[in-house]
Amino acid sequence: MTRQVIIEAVEQQGLTAEQVRQVAAAHPAVLAHLETADADRLILGEAVTVGREPDGRAPFRASVFDPVSNRAVELRGAVGRPEHAEVVPSAYRPTPGPGELQAAAEILRADERFPAGEDVIVYRPMPPLADLENPDGTTTRRPTLGLYTPGGPVKHRIVAVDVGARTVDWSPAGVSVAMHPDHPDDCESRLPTPVGSLRDRGGPDAVRLRVLDGGAELWNLIVVRPRASAPQNPGDGSGVELREVRYRGRLVFRQAHVPILNVQYEEDGVTYRDWQNEETRFSATGADPVGWGWRICERAPKTILERPDNDAGNFQGVAFHDAGGEVRIISEIAAGWYRYVSEWRLADDGVIRPRFGFAGVRNPRTCMRHRHHVYWRFDFDVEGSDNDVIEQFDGTAEAPVATQIVRETTRKRRPPARFWQVTDKSSGRGYRIVPGPHDNTADPYGIADLWFLRRRASELYDGGNPGGDNRAALDRFVNGESVSSTNVVVWYAGHFRHDQNAPHPHQGHVVGPDLIPVR
């Protein structure tokens, strides 16, 4: 028998966005806190379960946000009885979605100051919001939009739009469009994507992937596309997410994804928390056996990393490619002018290679030196949960010395540490975490390189550090709990420095560790 890569659509557990809206509309505490009687204007998404129970007892959390009052609450309840959900005030502010951006773009184009010319592009910039604090203490929500006018005296301009009042602030405070003095022209060569030009054509949120070789099943897992990846609501996605990952019938991960992605600029200290649920185009040729958004490719897909001339393509979603001994799972995502490649490589010998790539489209800022920080979350369930052991290996490659980590802690990739591994205490089977050659070591903003934590369902999202500098707030999860013979989660960070004057030596700016099976 030949090798087979098989995908089948699966349903996500939880509540749909419309079900969350119905719960919010019927819950007097929700509408009272948000100071609205109009449930139709609320911004919300699907509420995916945070527990493991496959029935109505499964707990869920969902944020309900009102863009007019700029306030949010969180619903906490059980899937089977959502009408009894607890209502808790929340500081979460979602990034603008396609509908809100399209409405803002229409207001901007109708403004009398909108520049003339068919070459003007309205695009999504950074930061995504420029909210305005009012004298009475309330805050007005204002999505930002970028204006690219190649023939004008100012090529780039970032404005803020009050969608409710239908007004445009052409010089929002705190939003910089400064160019690097050594690079007065645009950064990057690819044109930005106009707001409203990419249409979500539907398709399943998740599929089950099976990889067979000669009739033997090597891999069996659930793949969630970026638009539906956790954490969301609250949270802003995690790229391509893997769940219930099994290799040769044995459970490896309950969940693996990238919930946190940050950018920090060196010269002016500007920071961003990037979202990872906006799918963008790349090139992929093949068949769509379960509908749009899922493609099994005949040849290797080409993302922005392989197509430096443009940011175009014929596909949005997740592509699979059997590279001979390794199946690649690939998607390209956007956050403002940044472009990221979210990828997983599953080898026939059980090695898992998480990869993350960095690129961008034409903009005024990325010529300035900056650092990207990507944080993977690995929810290991080797041979099942509750019996995991974490070890750090120090010393030389010829004679590494193992030390068991028994309490929650953090680590940096620096000598004498060489690698770490998570194994089942009874069988000794597990996975070794070997740092990638380009993953670097955390600076003060990056905090750390690894976090070893006891698994808690509530520790999927770090809160986004609202009002702060967006840095990963993972240290709040480190409280001295035991990680010996229990259920553990490992966060792994990669750090990449982008300097226009000193291009990075490796192709495509890709980071990520190798996860190597033990026994």
| Residue 443 near residue 37 (C-beta atoms within 8 A) | no
| Residue 124 near residue 158 (C-beta atoms within 8 A) | no
Can you give the pLDDT at residue 318? 98
| Residue 452 near residue 392 (C-beta atoms within 8 A) | no
Please give the model's pTM, rounded to 2 decimal places: 0.94
pLDDT tens, residue by residue, 326-373: 999 999 999 999 999 999 999 999 999 999 999 999 888 888 889 999
Question: Percent of the chain at pLDDT above 70?
Answer: 95
Instruction: Give residue 376's pLDDT band: very low, low, confident or very high (50, 70, 90).
Output: very high
Instruction: Give residue 495's pLDDT band: very low, low, confident or very high (50, 70, 90).
Output: very high
Range list of β-strands (E), 128-287: 132-133, 139-140, 144-148, 156-162, 167-169, 206-213, 216-224, 241-247, 250-265, 271-273, 286-287
Can you give the pLDDT at residue 503? 64
Sequential DSSP letters for 458-513: T-S-----TTTT----GGGG-S--B-SSB-EEEEEEEEEEE-TTS--SSTT-EE--
Can you give the pLDDT at residue 151? 83
Residue of 430, 486, 425, 428 whose CA lies nearest to 453: 486
pLDDT tens, residue by residue, 36-73: 888 899 998 888 776 655 566 788 888 999 999 999 99
Q: Is the pLDDT of residue 268 over 50?
A: yes
Instruction: Give residue 507's pLDDT band: very low, low, confident or very high (50, 70, 90).
Output: very low
Q: Is the pLDDT of residue 180 over 70?
A: no
Average pLDDT for 268-278: 94
Between CA 115 and CA 117 the distance in angstroms is 7
pLDDT tens, residue by residue, 192-223: 999 999 888 889 999 999 999 998 999 999 99
Can you give the pLDDT at residue 291? 94
Tokens describing residue 445? 């903003």
The whole-chain average pLDDT of the chain stands at 91
Q: How many CB atoms are closer than 10 A to CB 401?
A: 12
Between CA 84 and CA 63 the distance in angstroms is 15
DSSP 365: S
Can you give the pLDDT at residue 301? 96
Q: Is the pLDDT of residue 506 over 50?
A: no
Average pLDDT for 367-386: 91
